[in-house]
Amino acid sequence: MKLKKVLVLTSLFVALIGCNINQGTKAQNVSQSTKLETEVVNKGQDIITKGQESLDKQTITILATADMHGRIYPYEYATDSVVEGAGFAKAQTLVNAEREKNPNLILMDIGDTVQDNSAELFNDLDTHPMVESMNHMNYDIWAIGNHEFNFEKEFIVRNINNFDGSVVSANIYNEKDGSYFVNPYQLFNVNGAVVAVVGMIPPYVPMWEASSPSHFKGLQFEEVLSSTKKVVESLEGQYDILVGAYHLGRRDDYGGEGIYGVANAIPQFDIIFGGHEHALYVEKVNGVTILEPGAYGRALAKAEIAVEKIDGQWKVLDIKAENIDTKKVEADKELLDKMNFVHEQSIADSNQVIGKITEDFIKGVDYITGSDIVTTMPRAQMENNAVIDLINEVQMYYTDAEISSAALFTFGSNLKAGEFKKKDVANIYRFTNTLMGVNITGENLLKFMEWSASYYNTWKEGDVTVSFNPKVRGYNYDMFAGIDYEINLSKEAGNRIENARLKGEKIDPNKIYKLAVNNYRFGTLTNLGLVTDKDKYFDSYEKWQDGGRVRDLITRYTQEVKNGVLEPITNNNWSITGINLDYPEKASIYEKIKKGEIVIPKSADGRTLNVESINRNYKSN
């Protein structure tokens, strides 16, 4: 049975854990107060009133976006192109229509909001344009995500303080006193019915930001399920409807609890809005409705919760949930006009010419179709390529490392002959990572390479394609430079790296090697126990601050080392072995794939292509 409120509404604030009714004054300038630079001083209200009608029956509407990643306009600045289903401006049109039907709705964003898509260009503004957009749209809730911590702590604190709604996350604590960093939850009184919204974030920020501890200085991130139980217990008797604003996927990649685990363990939730996974779904788990609207503004999540007052208590009668597609929706002109400076500056920045490319770096980006758009197998992950070698070359140059590893964040990454523009750098290096140099033993280097090679599925007799493990994201597959090696896919993960040599010499398990990685991968290595903080000998962020991001180093290397001219160079230092794709049936199968008669499966969430090999004995359904 649902927990019911037993306190009068005016007493609810007393029970709010870690919340602060003091609204204070919004920070108008970063330098105004040291406190504003280090602490969250605006933690919302005790309870927010949404309508004061005397009703016995009503429908409460909740809307949510998730993983907007710097998108206001329906535009991708890395490719300088329109994206039909993206951006706050598209979502705003739908929000306006829903508010016409129900002005007392609750609007939420489920995090990963202020990073990506050239958003870092505006980090020095008092209020980031993404937060300013949410204020313009009258967002009630911002459940911060892990990418909010990609920058200095002052940045996220300043924007939390400048957000007009309530910022929620129930598993981030201040180390000094154990208080909540932001609100663990927010209460809404909707015509007498009390809605409690609980926030949550992946607890792995210290791992992902291990190279930049100043990003989360003074904060602790606790496990999801125990934090959820704690906050739900504290809410006992205070709500009629329990809602999750969880920047979490349905499953957790590191053995913790995802939304499935939360719904199964805590059925008191009526509905949980998810994020982080970049997936589009509406499901029911253990009686709990869960949904996520994809990423970038692809859809607006909507829940209509029908409630009725029975014997003085509100009962949930029904929940209708859906994701409303934004692709064919016209963008809101008022928001577009307000944020036009962001759009124009981002386009101008992305089109800065920084050099010249002599010829295409990868020819036949799709391994089977030869197209520049990958729909089958990405050539770049089937064979060594000039794009990844350029990234690794840059990384080794600035770290003075012997070996480098890097991943392609986009399957279709390529550099085309002609002008080399800043947007081309973002196209081959999507994220704003910084660069690290670490000392690693030969033994741990080989373990790291094996970890990376688990990206592939084991090849089986008769397979005419090579496929990828659906549980491993493409951004977690690193390709190495400076070292020669083979990946034997006839063997199971953990035993695939063969003939690993540096300058002709076998890797010595006891020797220390210098390895270049990005800051995200440094977090992976520390989590795997392969390096420690003491092993770090170079940090580009410490040396150059924002100018030390890998994107900026690629630009600098092009201009200062290559004199503005890039030509494709492939080292051919690694190869896939233990496979034989040349069966008589291969040609006809590839032809059917090209025609769409055979479709190579994707992962369930659509984010990983090519997750199942096509065998010579393949038979269509």
Calculate mean pLDDT across residues 566-577. Answer: 97
Residue position matching structure tokens 């032809």: 591
The first and second tokens of residue 462, run together, are 């008769």
- Given CA atoms 16, 22, 28, 30 in this order, what sign does their dihedral have? negative
Name the least confident of 17-26, 481-490, 526-535, 565-574: 17-26
Of the three residues 322, 344, 366, the one that is the final residue of a domain is: 344
Same domain flag for 427 and 451: yes
Residue 615, domain member (yes or no): no
**pTM higher than 0.85:** no
Q: Which residues pair with 190 in a beta bridge?
A: 193
What is the residue type of 300?
L
Same domain flag for 150 and 71: yes
Of the three residues 302, 319, 344, the one that is the final residue of a domain is: 344
Q: What is the percent of the chain where pLDDT is above 90?
A: 82
Calculate mean pLDDT across residues 386-390. Answer: 97
Q: Are 329 and 96 a contacting pair, CB within 8 Å? A: no
- pLDDT value of residue 34: 36
Nearest partner of 518 among 495, 543, 548, judged by Cα: 548
Residues 411, 415, 417, 418: what is their CA dihedral angle, to the nearest 10 degrees?
Answer: 130
Residue 18, domain member (yes or no): no
Residue 487, domain member (yes or no): yes
Burial state string for 396-435 with b = 16 or more CB within 10 A and e = fewer than 16? bebbebebbbbbbbbbbbbbeeeebbbbbbbbbbbbbbbb
Q: How long is the chain? A: 621
- pLDDT value of residue 590: 96
Neighbours of 343 (CB within 10 A): 18
> Is the pLDDT at 17 greater than 90, yes or no?
no
- pLDDT value of residue 14: 31
Residue 600, domain member (yes or no): no
Same domain flag for 148 and 246: yes
> Is the pLDDT at 13 greater than 60, yes or no?
no
CB burial of residue 56 (10 Å; 0-12, 13-18, 19+): exposed
Pairing status of strand 185-190 against strand 48-49: parallel
> Is the pLDDT at 22 greater than 50, yes or no?
no
Nearest partner of 62 among 315, 307, 325, 302, judged by Cα: 302
Burial state string for 472-486 with b = 16 or more CB within 10 A and e = fewer than 16? bbbebbbbbbbbbbb
Nearest partner of 527 among 209, 217, 226, judged by Cα: 209
The residue segments making up the domain with residue 442 are 352-595
Same domain flag for 221 and 291: yes
Same domain flag for 310 and 366: no
Same domain flag for 277 and 151: yes
Residue 602, domain member (yes or no): no
Tally of structural domains, the chain = 2
- Given CA atoms 458, 459, 463, 465 in this order, what sign does their dihedral have? positive
Residue 454, domain member (yes or no): yes
Same domain flag for 161 and 300: yes
Residue 541, domain member (yes or no): yes
C-alpha dist (Å) from residue 404 to 341, 399, 438, 452, 560 = 38, 9, 10, 13, 20
Residue 525 CB contacts under 8 Å (≥ 6 apart), including other chains: 438, 440, 448, 517, 531
67 — alpha (psi -120 to 50), left (phi > 0) or beta?
left
The first and second tokens of residue 12, run together, are 């609810």
Same domain flag for 330 and 369: no
Q: Rounded CA gap, 376 and 585, in Å?
A: 17
Same domain flag for 415 and 485: yes
> Is the pLDDT at 35 greater than 50, yes or no?
no
Q: Which tens digits make up the pLDDT trace of 46-79?
A: 899 999 898 999 999 999 999 999 999 999 987 7
CATH number of the domain at 414, please.
3.90.780.10
Looking at residue 9, what DSSP letter applies?
Answer: G
Same domain flag for 323 and 380: no
Residue 54, domain member (yes or no): yes
Same domain flag for 56 and 91: yes
Nearest partner of 223 among 263, 264, 255, judged by Cα: 255
Burial state string for 495-508 with b = 16 or more CB within 10 A and e = fewer than 16? ebbeebebeeeebe
Neighbours of 110 (CB within 10 A): 30
CATH number of the domain at 329, please.
3.60.21.10
> Is the pLDDT at 193 greater than 60, yes or no?
yes
Calculate mean pLDDT across residues 434-454. Answer: 97
Of the three residues 344, 362, 397, the one that is the final residue of a domain is: 344
Same domain flag for 171 and 127: yes
